Every structure is written in C-alpha cells, then in structure tokens.
Amino acid sequence: MRRTTLLALLSVLLLPAGTAAAAPVPTPSPAVRDFGNGPERNEEAALVEDATAALKAQAAAPYHHDKTRGYPRKNQLPLPPENPADASIKLGLIPHHAIAAKLNALQALGDRVSAEVLGRSAGGRDLYFVTVTAPESPAEVREQERLRRQIESGRKVPKNRYKTPIFINGNIHGNEWEGTDASLRVIEELATSPQAATLLKRARLYFNITANPDGRVLGQRPNGNGFDLNRDMITASQPEARAMRQIMIDTQPVAMLDLHGYVNGTLIEPTTPPHGANYEYDLFITNTYANGLGMEAGVNALGYTPEKDGVFPVQIPFRDSEEGWDDWPPIFTPQYAPFHGAVAAHTVEIPLRVNGSDYTNLPVEELRRRSRINTDVAAAAVRATYGHVLANHDKLIADQTEVFRRGAAGEPSRTVPLGIVPGFGPEDVYTTTYPRGYVIPEGTPAAARLVDHLIANDVEVERAILPFRAGGRFYPSGTYVVDMRQPKRGLANVMLEPGADISPRVDAMYDISGWSHALLWGAGVTSVRDLRVLAEPVRSAASTGYVPHGDGALALKVADGRDAQALNALLARGVEVTWAGDTATLPRSARAAAREVAQRYGVRFSRAGTAGGPKLAPVRIAAAASADELFTLREMGFAVTPVSTTLANAGFDWNAVDVLFVASGLSYTALNPAAKAALDAFLAKGGVVTRGGTGATFNAAAGLLTVTSVAGRGDANGVVRMASGEHGFVYSPRWFTGLGPEVKAEQTYEAFVSGHWRPNQDGSGGQDAAKGQAAVVSGQDERGARVVLFGTEPMFRNHPKGLFAQVARALYSTSQ
C-alpha cells in the first residue's frame, strides 16, 4: 500500500552534530518543490559573472564514443593543477584535480579499465569517461557496434555475443558528491577482482565519473553557468548535458543509474505517477522495479541502522508513496535514458546530508563519517545493478530490442496491464496516441535549429524530395518530415507533441509538467495522421541564411533569438540600424555585413522600404536575473551586467546602462536613499523589462505602470495558448488586471495546453482565473520610462527558444 504523503520520502533524517551514536532527528522537507525559489530562481543567481567560458564550451565539438579502437586503451590523462579550495576535500572525498591521476593508476592495474576525457564543463574542467570491460580487439569492438545497431533497429541478435551496456552517472548535482567516489571504488574492484571476469565478458560498464566538476569543486548544485544539469536533458543547453546525451546514444545502456543525495532512507526509483506516456512502460516498470528491489536488498544488507548510524531503510517511491516523485518530464537524466533503450533507469538518493548548512556547521569528522556511509551506499547500488544485469542478461537485451522494434513498426501505444508488478493500479496507467508523423516547414532559423536538435538526439529526420500532401495540406519539396515509424519514436514524440494537461490526475508534481519543442521553439510543427512522401534522410538542416539581391536597404524582422544574435552582431560592428515595431532596417552599405551574419546565424533579410524609427544602438542591460536568464541574454549577444540589491546599494553605475531587467534579487524598497535616487534618475531616461513576482513587485514599488499583479498557484507550469494564437510558457504564472490608460496588453491568456495548473485551495490562482487576462503588458510611465512586464517565462532554463525574441524586442523597444 502506498503512503499518502511524500514527506517521509523527502525527509532528511540527520544525527545532531558530533553525536554519531545518538538517535536521528527527523527534519522533514516539503512534499512539493518550492517553484518560486528553486535552484534556478534564486537571489544568488544574479551574481553569475561571465559568459565567456559558457560560450566557448557551447561551441565545443560534441563527444563521440570511439567505436573502432580496442580495449584497453591506456590513455594517459593530463593532470590539472592542484586546487586546495576544492569543496570535496573537507568531506574526505577525492578533489577534481586528483581524479585524472587516480584513473591513470587504475588503468595501470591491468587490462580492464580505459579512461578518456569526453569534453569540458561550462567552467572548462575535464569530464572523465571510463569503460570497464574484458579486453577486446578492434574487430571485437566493431562487432559489438554492429550488434548494437542491429538492436537499435529492433532486430534480434545472438544474446551470447552481445555485451550488456551499463551506464553509471555520478555527481550530476555538484554538492551531492559521493557518486564519484563510489564509482572510483567500484572501478578499482572490477579492475582487480578475479570474480569480475565473468561479468566483464558479458557486460561493459560505463562511468561518467563526475557529470558536474564545476559544482563539485565549488560545492554547489548547478554547473559553472548556474544550470541544474538534471533539468537540461531535452534542451541540452549545457556542454555537460550534451556529453551525457552522447554517451547514452553511443553506448545504448540497458541499465542506468544517476547517483544523487540526500534522502534518508535511501531513495531508489521507480517513481510515483504520473508516468511518462511515451515510454514502453510495461518493459520499463518490470525491469526498473526488479532492479530497484535488488538495490534495496544490497543497500540494506550493509547493516546500517537508524539507532547506530542514523541510516534508515531504503524507500522506493513507486511502492511507498502516492505522488510527488514522478517520471513524467524527460528533463531528468534517468527519465531521458529510456528513450535510448534503458529498460531500467534510476535516480538513487543516498542518505546522509553533507551539503548546505550541514557542510558549513557540522564538525569535519561527522561530515566524513556521513560521506563514508554515503559512498558505501552508492557503491552497493552499483554492485547490485551489475549483478542484476548479469543475472538477467538475455531478458534485458530482448526487452531493449522490443522497445526499438515497437517504434520501428509504428505499433500503437500499449496500455500496461494492471498488476504487472505488485501495486500497479489504474493511477499508474498513462498512454499516448502517436501521429503518423510530424511536418516541419523549412527555411527559417527556428526550423533549422529544431531539425538539428532532433538529429543530435538521434531522432531520424527526412527531407521531402517532391511536393506532397498530408493532413489535407500541401507541402513543398524541402519540407522536413519526422516519420514516427522509427526506433526512437518515443523521444521524437515526447519532444514534438503538445503534451497533456494532467492537472486533474495528481496534485503534486516534482518539477515541470509541460514542455513542447513543437509549440515553444517557433518552428511551426504540424502532426499528421497520414504520410505519403518521397523523402531522404538528412544529417543536418539546410542553410537558412538569405539576403535578397539588389543594392537597396535591408530589413530584419526579429522573430527568433537568432535574429537578435545577428542584429546584436551588426550593432557591435557599428552598423547603422533603425528600429520600428519589431523590425530593424539597415542601409545599403551594410549588405556585406548582412551577408556575413545571415550565413553565420541563418537569418533571413528582406528588402526594406523607407527606413523608419529612431536609431538603434547596442543595448546595455543591467540584469537582476536568474542564471538561465543571464545565459540566454548573453547567448543572444546582449551586453549584460549583473545587478542586485547589494550591488545597487554599493553604488551601481547606471550611466553605463540602457535597460534594467528585473526578475530576481533586486528589491526597490530595500535600496538605501542614495541607491534609490540613482535608480530613479535612471528610470527617467532608461527602460525596464521585468519577469515574474520579483519584477511585478519592483514595478509597484517603483511606481512604474498602473497594473495589479495577480499570482497563479505557485507550482503551476506548462504551455499556454495566447489569444493571438501564439504559445507561451508559464512557471508560477502571473497576470495583470486594472490596467491604466498608459498600459497595453501585449499578450492575453486564452487556454492552458499542457502541464499542471490547479487552483489554490480557496479556488484562486487557477487556469480558469487567468483566461482572458493580460499575460504581458507594456507602457510608459509619467517619468518617461518605457516598461514591459512579463507574467510568463520566455527564457525558462534556456528552453522555450521560440519565445526569446519577445524579450529581445522588449529590450530594443524600451532602450530607445
């Protein structure tokens, strides 16, 4: 019987400082994540400093697993300089600078361990990837790759010839350290143990030693760009997420563990409902639950007890809880892995907290005691998993093959039988309806971006050779087509479908419930129920850059974030630009520069009429914003200087700023008199763009636009349709009422499309209350400040890329 609350699941049960043998003291955590103050919506995010490393890492070539060299590979890893400030050292754990030397030593122990650098983090630190297997010749490696591809196509292979791949991901949250140390311990055991010989002839084990070296060194959850990497998998905005994605594509694991902390007792998935509707869930739940039970036995067998050690028995959310720890969104690593064939995938939350206030306040000896136990627990989970895979080798290969076979055959989504595992009931049943295909019109930067993203995720995309009809519409040659009869149709569909409103089915969700590349990336995607088209596979999108012939002036409509990138690049070069409405106009003398940026960013210029509007200069932004917003603004090419209440009170130079962006970390009422006077002077000549609750509060306190801000339920999130027919994204949504005569509604909520948005207990704050209300407003206050207020989330986690242009247009317009 499932519990009725998740409080026990998320409880952090800790020993008082310095009392290792005392009874643990329960410290319950809230059952639902606080969406207003999560890791990417915090005050500290305003202090993220520089985008240089981020942009360098973003441009780095993706990692690809070498499928031709034999094993072992005996790479000598370069040694980084020692960093005595590494946060791991206090816990008695391995610092990042010592990992390479450790891996070099492990490779020298025999012929089972191969280590390599698979890329670099946002902060420029090496990412280490380890393969543990019995020796293989290059011919044997090629044979394994041939069999892997055969499985991926949904065809059976001789199971005694294929090695089951297992993927262990460590330390994705930087201040959840011990997965790294457990991985190194298990690698050493496998490198030297005679008993491991049988396993390594039947399996390959892949270890991403630390998925987040920046966070590990700095003692923080996010990476060096301020991103929670375990929310980035279907967006892949960060280099670490792209590396993990490529590992899963190249290795195709049957089982995957993501090692986290801290929940006591140890939390081991599978999850509570709602369950991702695009999985082959009958295959997933049977294998994931079986392996979860095996890990539970392995962890509990360590013998740690609440009385002696402060360690409680394992919890399995599917079995032990009602809701609030779900596998609905594919943003998490273990929820993304099944789309690449993992039929057992788990988050593992080790028990004893050593981060946050405990890291700061507890004695070092107590922290190290806890870290030793946590390392033991994580290592036990890894051992249990490879034991389960060895014992179920043939079944796991057969089930992975069946996942891909169903996709390639285009079979309907299956309804999982009740009772398929103990406790699987009607509340666990989620299905979807697959279309015959998706059509993506070609020729725009948004379409090219989406096509390239699908291909990067190993989704098959084709391009029509001849014109065709589908769904009653005519499409020209060159149109992109995603045929849903393909092995990874689950991943294609989870990205391209609109999603579902699951508000009626559950009250508590762990994180976002709505996302849609089709609706939020600006590419104009259409699903079709019939598809007859002559098409050929594409490896990358065709170039979309265009400058019309002739010698006249040019116009660039800012309809996409890449248009903003191109425009900012032109402004940085000193090109003369005027701005009116949503369009920039360039003189004929700028044609060479236009051709250059058109090729680089894929943007499309048109012929301009008479230039209108004032001259546009490079926009200088002071941003009190979250990390993802800072990243996105800089990605679009804006010059951004972080600001906060603290920095303003210390004497911020407003003369170097054109627009203030307020979303987090700046309180007008908390400014000292001098800071308030300086800001007021800026408001008399500068522009303001705000987002969310902090922005609305700033607007009211500073006396800008005449509006009343209304808050939706705090954990509401998802995709919304606007009255204009456009789509937006909300997260802790806002809307505006009581609009003054100086205020214009730029966007109005019409309907909630997908996600989770319930009203508060008193009936307020729901999606029905928001319908018909202003979601985005603009105006000019009596001082002359030009202002735009967003109640939506147009830059959330760098995901809704088709909405970035809304922010860019607001910044250009308010800067004038």
pLDDT of 774 reads 98
Lowest mean pLDDT among 40-54, 318-332, 789-803: 40-54
pLDDT of 2 reads 56
pLDDT band at 50 (very low <50, low <70, confident <90, very high): very low
pLDDT of 41 reads 41
| 611 pLDDT more than 60 | yes
Residue 788: closest CA among 757, 752, 815: 815
Burial code (b: 16+ CB inside 10 Å, e: under 16) for 122-140 equals: bbbbbbbbbbbbbebeeeb
Q: What is the pLDDT of residues 687-726, one digit of tens each?
A: 999 999 999 999 999 999 999 999 999 999 999 999 999 9
The rounded distance, in Å, linking the Cα atoms of 350 and 85 is: 25
Quick one: DSSP state of residue 639?
E
| 67 pLDDT more than 90 | no
The rounded distance, in Å, linking the Cα atoms of 385 and 168 is: 10
Average pLDDT over residues 388-407: 98
pLDDT of 66 reads 78
pTM, whole model, 2 decimals?
0.94
pLDDT of 306 reads 97
Cβ atoms 792, 548 nearer than 8 A: no
pLDDT band at 561 (very low <50, low <70, confident <90, very high): very high
pLDDT of 59 reads 44
The rounded distance, in Å, linking the Cα atoms of 184 and 187 is: 5
| 265 pLDDT more than 50 | yes
Length of the chain measured in residues: 816
Lowest mean pLDDT among 50-64, 100-114, 483-497: 50-64
Average pLDDT, the chain: 92
Average pLDDT over residues 639-654: 97
| 259 pLDDT more than 50 | yes
CA 158 vs. chain centroid, Å, equals 36
Q: Token pair for residue 729?
A: 């994204």
Q: Token pair for residue 593?
A: 């520069």
User: How far is the CA of 411 from the CAs of 121, 337, 701, in angstroms?
Assistant: 40, 21, 57
pLDDT band at 30 (very low <50, low <70, confident <90, very high): very low
The rounded distance, in Å, linking the Cα atoms of 139 and 259 is: 33
| 29 pLDDT more than 90 | no
pLDDT of 742 reads 97
pLDDT above 70 as % of the chain: 92
pLDDT band at 58 (very low <50, low <70, confident <90, very high): very low
pLDDT of 68 reads 83
Average pLDDT over residues 806-816: 96
Q: What is the pLDDT of residues 582-599, one digit of tens each?
A: 999 999 999 999 999 999
Average pLDDT over residues 332-354: 98
Report angle CA 244, 250, 253 to the nearest 5 degrees. 80
Average pLDDT over residues 265-287: 98
Whether the upstream peptide bond of residue 72 has omega within 30° of 0, thus cis, is: yes
Q: Which amino acid is at 743?
A: V
